Copies of this chain bind each other. A is one copy, B any other.
Amino acid sequence: MVKKSRGKNISIKDIAQLCNVSVPTVSRVINQSGRYSEETERRVRKVIEETGYQPSVFARGLRTNCANNIGIIVPDITNEFFSSITLAIQNVLFEKSYTTMICNTNEQPTVQAKQLEMLKSSRVAGIIFISGEAITDEDLTDGIPKVFVDRLPWNAASKDVVTVEADNYTGGKIAANTLLESGCKHIVALFEARGLSTQIARYSGFIRAHQDYGLDVVKELYQPVAQVSFQEGYETICKLIKSKVPFDGICCYTDSLACGALSALAEAGISVPDQVQVTGFDDISMAKWAVPPVTTIAQPVKEMGRLAAELIFKMSKGEDIEQKQYTLPVELIKRKSTK
């Protein structure tokens, strides 16, 4: 009889009755919170197994007001860099039996605000922002644990927030250095225009590398794009070629911009790396599989995701976080778009 219903309409009370123990005892066994004998545990687990009883996440959420559910806010899930971090986070939380709610903002602050509200009303145990640059000060103080990965909120350093980022400054410096070392003198900086924390850090590294070489950065070669996409990379370089400003290198803020740039160069019959050398940033698949493959700065995506997940897990349990700000090392991946 019991077996037939397989979990449907079976309550924790039924389990307690069938095991001849109290409801709190069943609850303690389910949550592995101790204070029961081995014999009791075996009996309860057996009945749960036989009946197919599934403890409701909702019931658990109401009781503990902590649903083992983490919200992840992502600007663009179709961007491989972001989806890879998301995946790494989800893999770690999955192992800990935490569920995740992934929200895509389309890089729109208004959508982000709405989703944030939704996550709050779902009483998530924590929120990981992948690129939470549009967060407000009010959002930071609502009591929900938060971890910021990649792009940081404005003035994050002074705001006692938990952050995980790659060493973007060193990344920008290494990328520019690679171009300078192999002879480039007129390097386009194909960056984004919004002044994100990652953009500022990478561009600072770009400038520093020029200083170390005793070279000035050329103003006309600073090319900010409104959106980070293949299309923008392509269009910007097409225009630059038409304008006849000479350049022999392109240092790109992302691999997507670099691949768009490659496309524009190929169309104009400009050979890479002989006439123009190109670097990207992120090491998405496309960098590896482009023709020619793109020299890029790899971010430790898995490690960033793992660390963010471990941090939010601890914070959701009310544990203290000793170190709050993490900057992880980047790595140069040399390929054929540079000499």
Contact = CB atoms under 8 A, between A and B. Distances in A.
Copies per assembly: 2
B290 A291 contact: yes
Interface in A172-231: 230
A131 interface: no
B288 A230 contact: yes
Contacts of A234: 289
Contacts of A83: 77-78, 83
A121 B87 contact: no
A300 interface: no
B57 A121 contact: yes
Interface residues of A, number: 54
Contact of A291 (B102, B114, B266): B266
A84 interface: yes
A7 to B, nearest CB: 8
Interface string A98-112: 011111101000010
Contact of A87 (B101, B104, B122, B291): B104
Contact of A54 (B55, B62, B87, B121): B121
B102 A57 contact: no
A58 B55 contact: no
B57 A123 contact: yes
Contacts of A40: none
A94 interface: yes
Interface stretch (A149-157, A159-167, A256-264, A321-329): A256-264
Contacts of A54: 117, 120-121
B67 A78 contact: no
A59 interface: yes
A200 to B, nearest CB: 26
Interface in A269-319: 285-286, 288-293
Nearest to A233: B289
A116 B80 CA distance: 25
A13 to B, nearest CB: 15
Nearest to A259: B289
A254 interface: no
B230 A285 contact: yes
Interface of A: 8, 54-59, 61-62, 67, 77-78, 80, 83-84, 86-87, 90-91, 94, 97, 99-104, 106, 111, 114-115, 117-118, 120-123, 143, 230, 234, 256, 259-260, 262-263, 266, 285-286, 288-293
18 contacts: A57-B122, A58-B58, A58-B62, A62-B62, A78-B80, A78-B84, A91-B106, A94-B103, A94-B111, A101-B101, A102-B102, A230-B288, A234-B289, A256-B285, A260-B289, A263-B293, A266-B292, A291-B291
